[in-house]
Amino acid sequence: MSSEDAGAPGDRSGGPDDDAGHENALQDVIAVDPDDAEQGTVNRLDAHTGDGIRHRAFTCLVYDSEGRILLAQRAPTKRLWDGHWDGTVASHPVEGQTQEDATEQRLEEELGITPDQYDDLRVTDKFEYKRYYPNEGVEWEVCSVLKITLDDTSLDPDEAEIGGMLWVDYEHLHENPALYRQLRLCPWFEIAMRRDFA
């Protein structure tokens, strides 16, 4: 596992005054050390404000049989990286939950993808990174990368989670980043993709 640089911090304020009422304030995430060893649970909002608290996360890259990746746009109501494009879902396991179980849950909740549409869910990488989102918060995560290939590409996205969807040739996306710059990719996805082709 390697650690990715922090990037420019920007404004490290705690965000809007009503953050305490945000749904994230009602959830916990798993705090971890740089080796992903559990250090107890912390409030999800606390983990993503100020200078943040390192915690466990995952991103799942969803492909079809033609080697395309499904990019999913984060809904405009998301607190961090709203409107940015992810490849494909990202979230946090809760205490006692494996990365695979958490991924299955989020795939179904966000995109309507059920386990009978794939049979190859696997963890392929893990890295630590820290990125600030100006005026709103921070992501400081030890992020596992999981992948699936859909046998059936039927989707039923939740509009509260997903703003838009786009199938893209994965190699073309990696080799021609300037052509996709207007999509504003999520930083964790860009790191995962760069490491994938390293």
Catalytic residue of the set 104, 128, 139, 141 = 141
Structure tokens at 72: 């999913």
φ, ψ (nearest 5 deg) of residue 39: -125, 25
CA distances to 4, 110, 133 from 177, in Å: 19, 26, 21
Is residue 141 flagged as an active site residue? yes
Omega cis (within 30) before 88: yes
Place of tokens 């499904």: 70
Residues with a catalytic annotation lie at 141
